[in-house]
Amino acid sequence: MSQVLLVLNLLSLLSLSSGATSFSLGSRSILRAIDNENGGPHDYAVDLNASNFDSVLGDTPATFAVVEFFAHWCPACRNYKPHYEKVARLFNGPDAVHPGIILMSRVDCALKINTKLCDKFSVVHYPMLFWGPPAKFVAGGWEPKQEKSEIRLIDDGRTADRMINWINKQTDSSFGLDDEKFENEHLSSNVSDPAQIARAVYDVEEATSTAFEIILEHKMIKSETRASLIKFLQLLVAHHPSRRCRTGSADILVNFDDLCPLDMSSPSKQGDNNGEGTLGNFQICGKGIPRGYWMFCRGSKNDTRGFSCGLWVLLHSLSVRIEDGESQFAFTAICEFVHKFFVCEECRQHFHDMCSSVSSPFKTSRDFALWLWSAHNKVNERLFKEEAFLGTGDPKFPKMIWPPRQLCSSCRLSPSEENNGIDWDQEEVLKFLTNYYGKILVSLHKDKDKNNLRSDRLDWFLEDLAVSANAVVVPLGAALAIAVASCAFGALACYWRSQQKSRKPRRSWN
Ligand code: FAD
């Protein structure tokens, strides 16, 4: 891990030399309802313009997007707005009834900045509504005679009722304008569909940023917990499945001494959202996260699943990404993090007991990933009985010894379980975990801003770090040169990178 620290120190130097810190100020989520200019009721539809159009649509977890092109001076558009908002209420914001399915957005074509954008979509009257997968809008356009476009003109959305009917037809759903939050009984659990875990990349981002918010809200960074947080951040920097969480964690680490000075007896900076450059303003996984809802970890009842599910998924996804030499470090980082920062007393005590019962250090990532899987199953087993007795479980997501046969039939050696004991084929379990949490659960986020060199450089570095930490010795000369001559960073990093490549084949998680 000394190489990890070395490289993190170098990152710190680079950050200072470029004067760059990426404190993301502003609202918690662009998808959340925003106050309109008059301080009136919330708008649910997201305002897009030429500068954020591609990034918002590129980043949204929603499967579909509706984009309304309008003009603020157009009386018909003003009258249409309440209809559009009635539908947007269902899908946008932290109180969305059906979050993560459709992003409802609008573009004001009367603003000069949007002229080209509106031209690209051949906007000839207001309002004009389009439907399609969000990614198709990115750098896209629409022409009336274009065949086979996945972006479609919504030709029957003039009232909220007609719009929701149109959407229901497209999605084969039965959304209703009067649906209320947490009427999720229709949610299908799909526990046997391995592809579902791909959606969890949003949940590991949500869990990471939520965990961080809780740490700040509860002012949990103290002199006795500081080292544990740093350790966990180091693990995130190298192995978080989401690229932007890796970048955000690195930003916090390199600024850690400023953000969390050693005299934390009066942690005045924690949770302080007013001052620029304070920890409270730092969004670890980037702007707009936490979004306020869960995708893979969404429960069918309002108080089930969510954060703790997201945290488990994050921990498993870290466990399958580490190298052998990092296994003991990852174990202690995760145990300490749960023990010191997970505000569920029973959970952290149980987990601490399981951590304490490990008698010898982990030597391989295999052993650690399997230990975590088995620890989670022990929790599942206990909770299965408890939830059945108390009726507190999620009926659509009952606890089970995992993975069920439908997800991984080869994981079980014998076709039937005798005496409730399962005869696991551990190599098959490991293969399954690595594929599920490693290859399927990957970052979907690509840096849209090609000019964001710092972030690109950082990712280069971190990806290589993920490969090299503890397995390959970082060439000290090259690393120092990179730190000192940050202006020539690109060329030197390239050299360093090529050295790494020639030493060891790159792993392609992303
Ligand atoms: P979760 O158990 O949260 O699992 C999330 C997802 O992980 C599942 O949907 C499944 O896809 C996958 N999964 C399930 N089992 C495994 C496994 N063995 N290996 C890999 N992947 C798996 N709650 C308590 O009431 N008491 C406790 O003591 C307690 N301890 C906890 C300790 C930790 C570290 C954490 C993170 C949570 C703990 N919780 C505890 C919360 C509890 O485990 C669940 O997270 C919560 O009840 C939500 O359950 P869920 O149905 O979303 O599935």
CB atoms within 10 A of CB 394: 19
User: Are the C-beta atoms of 210 and 310 separated by less than 8 Å?
Assistant: yes
Intervals of CATH 3.40.30.10 along the chain = 46-171
pTM for this entry: 0.72
**Residue 480 identity (one-letter amino acid):** L
What residues are in contact with ligand 1 under a 6 Å CB criterion? 297, 305, 308-309, 311-313, 316, 338, 346-347, 350-351, 373, 376-377, 379-380, 383, 394, 397, 402
Q: Nearest residue CA, atom 43 of ligand 1?
A: 379
The residues carrying an active-site annotation are 74, 77
Cα-to-centroid distance, 189 and ligand 1 (Å): 15
DSSP element (H, E) containing 389 = helix 365-390
The two structure tokens encoding residue 107: 């573009």
What length is written for the chain? 510
| pLDDT for the residue numbered 99 | 86
Q: What pLDDT does 438 receive?
A: 95
CB 469 within 8 A of CB 330: no
Query: Which atom of ligand 1 lies at the shortest distance from residue 394's CA?
Result: 51
* Second-level CATH architecture of 196-259+281-439: Up-down Bundle (1.20)
Q: CA-to-CA distance for 400 and 393, rounded, in angstroms?
A: 11
How many whole angstroms from 46 Cα to the centroid of ligand 1?
33
Q: What's the CA gap between 393 and 380, in Å, rounded? A: 11
Q: What's 109-172 look like in SS3?
A: CCCHHHHHHHHHCCCCCCCEEEEECHHHHCCCCCCCCCCCCCCEECCCCCCHHHHHHHHHHHHC
What is the homologous superfamily of the domain 46-171 according to CATH?
Glutaredoxin (3.40.30.10)
Q: State the helix-helix crossing angle for 307-319 and 327-341, rounded to 10 degrees.
A: 170
Q: How far is CA 263 from CA 10, 178, 258, 267, 276, in A?
A: 25, 52, 11, 8, 20
| Distance between CA atoms of residues 236 and 215, nearest Å | 16
**Residues with pLDDT less than 70, the chain:** 1-41, 182-189, 263-277, 415-420, 443-510
In the chain, the amino acid numbered 81 is K
Token pair 């936490």 is found at: 290
Q: Cα(415) to centroid of ligand 1, in Å?
A: 25
In sequence order, what DSSP letters do the residues of 46-80 get, joined into one string?
A: EEE-TTTHHHHHHH---SEEEEEEE-TT-HHHHHH
Q: What is the pLDDT of residue 246?
A: 96
The answer to whether residues 343 and 215 touch, using CB atoms and an 8 Å cutoff, is: no
376 CA → ligand 1 middle, Å: 6
**Which residues are CB-neighbours of 12 under 8 A, at least 6 positions away?**
253, 254, 255
Per-residue DSSP letters for 248-279?
HHHHHHHTHHHHS-S-TTS-TTTT--SSTTSG
Q: Where in the chain is the domain with CATH 1.20.120.310?
A: 196-259+281-439
Pick the closest to residue 314 from 466, 214, 208 (CA basis): 208
Query: Bridge partners of 47?
Result: 106
Sheet with 128-132, side-by-side order of all strands: 46-48, 102-108, 64-70, 128-132, 152-153
**Residue 183 pLDDT:** 57
Pocket test for ligand 1, best of 379, 408, 412 (most atoms within 8 A of CB): 379
The token pair that represents 157 in the structure block: 């959305």
What secondary structure letter does DSSP report for 424?
B
Task: Let me know: does 433 contact 373? Beta carbons within 8 Å.
Answer: yes
Report pLDDT for 10: 41
Q: Pick the residue whose CA is nearest to atom 13 on ligand 1.
A: 402
The first and second tokens of residue 54, run together, are 């591609």
